[in-house]
Chains A and B, each alone.
Chain A
């Protein structure tokens, strides 16, 4: 999973006209949804947009090093960003779905905590392997001092590398990213579940208990699909690797917010149309 650019990347520049077009598209989709299904449909769509934005934004926090990290040449986790965020978020969604009948707030925070817990354990074990298994301390290549702890990084970076391991700010970033991704995925799942539980009995002419497996499976599948779309869009935004919230690439997040909002709105609207037409 390490195909690399054969041409230079377009860089971190913002494109105001495109962002404006994106916002207009978002408003159009919201208006269409209000026209087709005001009330429950519109509520669901707003929830999905918020969830999608949380996933997209949260994925920026997750420290991913890609192929160089697997050789101790770059800090971060040695996995692809889309799939690592998806893994943490899905673990959170698992917990959030279990708590679904305890209400929106509790379930969302449970989902977030699930995602954050998975990232906390994973990041700690990554540092564990680096320090006790390979004898390599953590060091960042992008800043001189860790923004949270103030530790100096330069002299702990081995020569010829860009840094290695997970400095504390990357760890915190990973946990925050897992929390936001888990919470976002759970919101999407819960909104769709409530919508489908309310509308599918009418659409399919079946009693509510019969409809429940369909509602759960469809909402779960949509949540997974939206997860992956948002995570991949974020991966495109950061061009594959990012050290965490202290990385200069992190400043590209406004683009991702607009992109995730539009993508989630579009996909959410299609999901709502299933029961609205």
Chain B
């Protein structure tokens, strides 16, 4: 006897969320490219917004997939999304300004083949599997690219592998203080992998409501943006990092507050230090 997931339909259809998420993520990623055009780093915070929009899309995909009962659990879906996404994202960074589009295409191919493998070779035969895994790989790649843009100011391979370190007061170029060389990509990987599956995992149950789940996704996205912005202090200039941090904190505070209000709306009762109520004589 274990937990039953009951699917409650309703809310905005998945297709709309997918298109909205994809478009806004790509727009936000390209807005960070303004950094290159204007030779500053002030637009890095758009990377964080790209993360939030991609996660909103991705968490809804996980809801669609896991509602069929894949038998293993929700966190595995997040892991495979980001496992395939990180590989696609690293190749896509080689394509310069076309990196987000490249990430979309490469991740879609990888996700499609993984979906085919799961559905046909592993015989899972779930109708939404192929599309869901394709979408999740794309979400994984774009989220990681968003983190990279937030922390380093750009999404090309050169930006992600170079950094500077001060040696005796002089700035020396070092690959060890960089997004990839310093291992920050591992942190972004797990931040995204947990954030993408947490909203559905934490709100599943008979009383699942779409707006509450999506608000939680936004909250997870902004929370990840806060810590990523703190990590970016080491790699981009203080003003830009501070801007990302402030945007993240404001976004997080708002969405967290909204989430608590929505939970209050949906809960059976909101008690403070009260006894267990009597429910049918148990």
Name the prevailing secondary structure of the A interface residues: helix
Q: Which residues of A contact B80 (CB under 8 A)?
A: 228-229, 232-233
Query: Does B176 lie within 8 Å of A22, measured CB to CB?
Result: no
CB<8 Å pairs between A and B, sample of 10: A1-B73, A3-B66, A6-B5, A9-B71, A204-B158, A232-B79, A233-B122, A236-B118, A267-B87, A270-B87
Interface assignment of A143: CB less than 8 Å from any CB of chain B: no
Q: Does A81 contact B (CB under 8 A)?
A: yes
8 A Cβ contacts from B142-184 to A: 157-158, 161, 174-176, 178, 180-183
| B84 in contact with A225 (CB, 8 Å) | yes
Assess the A214–B76 pair: CB atoms within 8 A: no
Interface residues of B (CB under 8 A from A): 2-7, 66-77, 79-80, 82-84, 86-88, 90-91, 94, 106, 110, 113-114, 116-118, 120-125, 157-158, 161, 174-176, 178, 180-183, 185-186, 189, 201, 204
Which residues from A are CB-within-8-Å of B91?
Answer: 270-271, 273-274
A137 interface residue (CB < 8 Å to B)? no
Interface size class of A (residues with CB under 8 A): 35 or more
Is A32 an interface position by the 8 A CB rule?
Answer: no
- Report the minimum CB–CB distance from A262 to chain B (whole Å): 6
B4/A235 in contact, CB under 8 A: no
> Which of A12-20, A103-111, A115-123 is near enough to bind chain B?
A12-20
Contact A3 to B114, CB < 8 A, known contacts A82-B72, A225-B87, A255-B122: no
Once the chains are docked, how many angstroms separate the CA of A214 from the CA of B72? 34
Say how far B104's CB is from chain A's closest CB, in angstroms.
Answer: 14
Q: How far is the CA of A68 from the CA of B174 in the complex (A)?
A: 50
Question: Which residues from chain B contact A259 at a C-beta distance below 8 Å?
Answer: 117-118, 121-122
Interface residues of A, Cβ cutoff 8 Å to B: 1-7, 9-15, 18-19, 21-22, 25, 67-68, 80-83, 204, 206, 210-211, 213-214, 217-218, 220-222, 224-229, 231-233, 235-237, 239-240, 255-256, 258-259, 262-263, 266-267, 270-271, 273-274, 277
Q: Are B94 and A277 within 8 A (Cβ)?
A: yes
